[in-house]
Amino acid sequence: TLSGKTAIITGSNSGIGLGIAREIARAGAAVVLNSFTDRKEDHALAAEIAQEFGVEARYIKADMSKGAECRDLIEQAGGCDILVNNAGIQHVAPIDEFPVDKWDAIIAINMNSAFHTIAAALPHMRKRGWGRVVNIASAHGLTASPFKAAYVAAKHGVVGMTKTVALETAEEPITCNAICPGYVLTPLVEAQIPDTMEKYNMGREEVIKKVMLERQPSREFATVEQLGGTTVFLCSDAAAQITGTTISVDGGWTAL
């Protein structure tokens, strides 16, 4: 189990990040939840996890689009043994119409934040003599789709950064890997449905089966629990020699 360890999960007040935080807590680690808001509900999520799993849990506000706040999150938490870089946003547009502010925000939140958190967390992991970095990339870290230039660029960047960090920590008891989910039904995906319905002139169910899950041969969404379980596996002793690689949880997407 992971008792005695502390995990920081960025972007974890909903979706995959929250699912991962819950599975890490189930495995016995203390968890630090994060997002850029500071609402009662955010802190309540941590309290629920603490109660359900009998672990320490807290919520720390930090905006992952800002490098200084990324680093400050790690320091405020007092460092960590497990760092899960999960915060992410999406915007869909042809590259010649892609809003510059959206491009900058996606690169900052989906990619640069991992640079800052890893840079701040590694010294703590070295002091503790153990560390696990898990970056939540995407099938779009390995393949592309039209209209997602910023997201695909950021996620490919995260996969590249993962390999480099693994090489820099290769002789230490620290690993760094990326998980590449296919489609998982979360608020981020939910938000893409109306645009996609309009683009393809289709209804909701048709968009889900024919467009979204078109490239996911299983024709099923992956679940946040499955991503949490994969993260816990990467933190286990069985995974100690797994570093610098990607694990796809995509129903066969990248096998096509």
Pick the catalytic residue: 59, 151, 183, 200? 151
Contact by Cβ (8 Å): 64, 44: no
* Minimum CB–partner distance for residue 56 and ligand NAD (Å): 20
Among 7, 55, 111, 136, binds ligand NAD (CB under 6 A): 136
Contact by Cβ (8 Å): 5, 56: no
Task: Quote the CA–CA distance of 135 and 246 in Å, as a whole number.
Answer: 9
* Minimum CB–partner distance for residue 86 and ligand NAD (Å): 5
Task: Quote the CA–CA distance of 253 and 110 in Å, as a whole number.
Answer: 21
For this structure, is 151 an active site residue? yes
Contact by Cβ (8 Å): 148, 140: yes
* Minimum CB–partner distance for residue 69 and ligand NAD (Å): 8
Task: Quote the CA–CA distance of 12 and 226 in Å, as a whole number.
Answer: 16
Judged by CB under 6 A, does residue 15 bind ligand NAD? yes
Nearer to ligand NAD, 88 or 251 (CB): 88
Binders of ligand NAD in range 230-249 (CB under 6 A): none
R_g of the chain, CA atoms, integer Å? 18
Judged by CB under 6 A, does residue 177 bind ligand NAD? no
Q: How many CB atoms lie within 10 A of CB 225?
A: 13
Binding piece for ligand NAD, criterion CB under 6 A, among 15-23, 50-58, 76-84, 164-172: 15-23
Q: Which residue has the tokens 């760092």?
A: 83
Active centre residues (catalytic) = 151
Binding site for ligand NAD (CB under 6 A): 11-17, 35-36, 63-65, 86-89, 109-110, 136, 138, 181, 183-184, 186-189
